Structure 1
Amino acid sequence: MSPGGGATTDTFADYAVAGPHAVMSEASGSTCTVFRPVTLTDDHPVILWGNGTSTQVSAYSEGLEHWASWGYVVVAANTSNAGTGEQMLDCLDGISGSAIADSLDLTRVGTTGHSQGGGGSLMAGRDERITATAPIQPYVVGLGHDSASQGDQTGPMLLLSGSSDFVASPSRNQAPVYQAANVPVFWANSQGTSHFAPIGDLGVYRGITTAWWDYQLKGDQDAADLFAGPCLGCDAEGWDVQRKGF
């Protein structure tokens, strides 16, 4: 079982294990925290992160470190109120002008977050610099979220739910996003999973999000096959999947 409940699955298991990079974290100004490979080469894709309500970056650090171990530079907004997405885009502005900017591929940027931060990732997903989104149990009935953003996305979406989430319930929060989205959407609802499953190492969402980033931000064909083409992830044990536009 995952830490917040919900069955684990082997379909995304290869992506749930740590990647090859040793990782570190550092400040990016006073408002953002960066998780990245210790040794930077060239063209690392960027992932923007928004926290859930009343939580800080440290609550999700194991999961953000996991993505960094796969070669991503993860930039997290140091706020517990990320619902507007503005702080996440400010972090993108900051990293774009930083000392490590030459090691980044700023044409491949993803945005994600949990709960209020998931709603914020959709708000940020309107920005033309965003390649793809992966909102995790996004809360979209307030806290800075504008529902009009759902139909104004710039890149494909991995929409993640938990069937036992009674805070950002799928019927009120993710189903409307799926219906309104103007981009391809892979909606994966983890069966028996609560709202707090992502705390720590992202729980059951760790593998599927890593695969999604490898598909969308690296163009990896094996990862792509989990979501498109043969859609090997469509029948993953423990998940109820709907998709459109693939």
Structure 2
Amino acid sequence: MKLSSVHLSSFALLLSLAFCAGNAHAFGGRDDTTGGSYDSSGGNQTTQERAGSSCTLYRPSNLDGNHPVILWGNGTGASPSSYRGLLRHWASWGFVVLAANTTNAGTGRDMLECLDWLEDSSISGYINFNKVGTSGHSQGGGGSIMAATDDRIATSAPIEGYTLGLGHDRRSHTNQSGPMLLLSGSADTLVNPTRNHAGLFSRTNVPVFWAILQGASHFEPVGDGGDFRGITTAWFLYQLFDDADAATEFEGSNCGYCNASRWEVEQKSL
């Protein structure tokens, strides 16, 4: 499927309307799709600030010198503010989150430029550059896969990522630099899971945990992440903080999300 300018304009409008409606989720709620508490705040106070001219930074207010990084890519026509609740949520768990200020994140280049900025920034001494992840929604989800071909990236978690164009090159699927949490919505009519994600799951060269949220539309993650908030938080704790409890949500056939309501799961090499 190739999106026309009309489709792109409609997508941007729908995304804006979904954000204004609050996505029907209350920030700080509990994810009842698994037994974990990763949907709740991590407890750190957070700060939002500019990161150069092209990125927005969400971080714990108090930095202690060992913070992993999450790079974020927006959906088509969206901005970091469209996902502010989710990005602040990750920061509350100790992650330094850098969101590219672009409405077209599909190539992943803007996300990696945020990492370039961080490497030369005044807070670089507080960062663990061996623990960098990527994520994003829709076009930005596709961009997070593209960015994850960079050898500085340890893991990725694309959310309903568009992989059929808009800057996305499918050759990136076989050149990933770390494990992937692949997230789909079963009711997503804009980014169909079969067309966009089935081939990615089979082709990619890294371990993959593919989780399809039953009943989720394309706009589930807008605002505070919806029911993708808890699972992405657990994944990044597992991959970037080496959290043993979070690992049990993904490893083995009896993992937490393997048996959670509303999730259909496939694993590869985990």
- The TM tier, using the shorter chain, reads over 0.9
Q: Which amino acid aligns with 1:136?
A: I
Residue equivalent to 2:243: 220
The structure, 1 or 2, with the larger RCO (C-alpha pairs under 8 Å, 6+ apart) is: 1
Cα distance in 2 for partners of 1:227, 1:3 equals 27
Give the Å deviation of 1:179: 1.2
- The correspondence of residues 136-175 of structure 1 with structure 2, limited to 5 A, is 136-175=159-198
Give the Å deviation of 1:176: 1.5
Residue equivalent to 2:85: 62
Contact conserved, 2:33 with 2:263, CA < 8 A, in 1?
A: no
**What SS does structure 1 have at the residue aligned with 2:114?**
helix
Correspondence for 2:136 among 102, 105, 113: 113
Residue equivalent to 2:202: 179
Cα distance in 2 for partners of 1:59, 1:207 equals 18
Correspondence for 2:39 among 11, 16, 24: 16
Give the Å deviation of 1:17: 0.2
Give the Å deviation of 1:43: 0.8
TM-score by length of 1: 0.96
Deviation by residue 1:180-228 (Cα, 9 ceiling, x = unmatched) = 1110000000000000010000000000000000000000100001101
Residue equivalent to 1:188: 211
In structure 2, relative to structure 1, the CA distance for the partners of 1:51 and 1:12 (3 Å cut) is: farther
Give the Å deviation of 1:13: 4.1
Residues 1:3 and 2:24 aligned together = yes
Residue equivalent to 1:210: 233
Count of equivalent residues: 242
- The correspondence of residues 32-71 of structure 1 with structure 2, limited to 5 A, is 32-71=55-94
Q: Any gaps of 5 or more consecutive residues in structure 1?
A: none
Cα distance in 2 for partners of 1:3, 1:192 equals 14
Moved more, 192-201 or 230-239: 230-239
Residues 1:235 and 2:256 aligned together = no
Give the Å deviation of 1:30: 0.6
Cα distance in 1 for partners of 2:256, 2:248 equals 6
Cα distance in 2 for partners of 1:157, 1:19 equals 22
**What SS does structure 2 have at the residue aligned with 1:108?**
strand
Runs ≥4 residues deviating over 3 A: none
Q: Which amino acid aligns with 2:232?
A: T
Give the Å deviation of 1:3: 3.4
Cα distance in 2 for partners of 1:56, 1:202 equals 14
Identity of aligned residues (%): 53
Contact conserved, 1:12 with 1:208, CA < 8 A, in 2?
A: no
Cα distance in 2 for partners of 1:75, 1:195 equals 23
Give the Å deviation of 1:12: 5.4
Residue equivalent to 1:131: 154
Correspondence for 2:124 among 95, 101, 107: 101
Contact conserved, 2:35 with 2:256, CA < 8 A, in 1?
A: no
**What SS does structure 1 have at the residue aligned with 2:181?**
strand
- The correspondence of residues 20-31 of structure 1 with structure 2, limited to 5 A, is 20-31=43-54
Q: Which amino acid aligns with 2:181?
A: L
Contact conserved, 1:130 with 1:155, CA < 8 A, in 2?
A: yes
TM-score by length of 2: 0.88
Cα distance in 2 for partners of 1:60, 1:233 equals 23
Contact conserved, 2:33 with 2:262, CA < 8 A, in 1?
A: no
Cα distance in 2 for partners of 1:244, 1:182 equals 10
**What SS does structure 1 have at the residue aligned with 2:57?**
strand
Residue equivalent to 1:77: 100
Contact conserved, 2:153 with 2:177, CA < 8 A, in 1?
A: yes
Cα distance in 2 for partners of 1:186, 1:69 equals 24
Q: Which amino acid aligns with 2:172?
A: S
Cα distance in 2 for partners of 1:131, 1:19 equals 22
Q: Which amino acid aligns with 1:234?
A: C
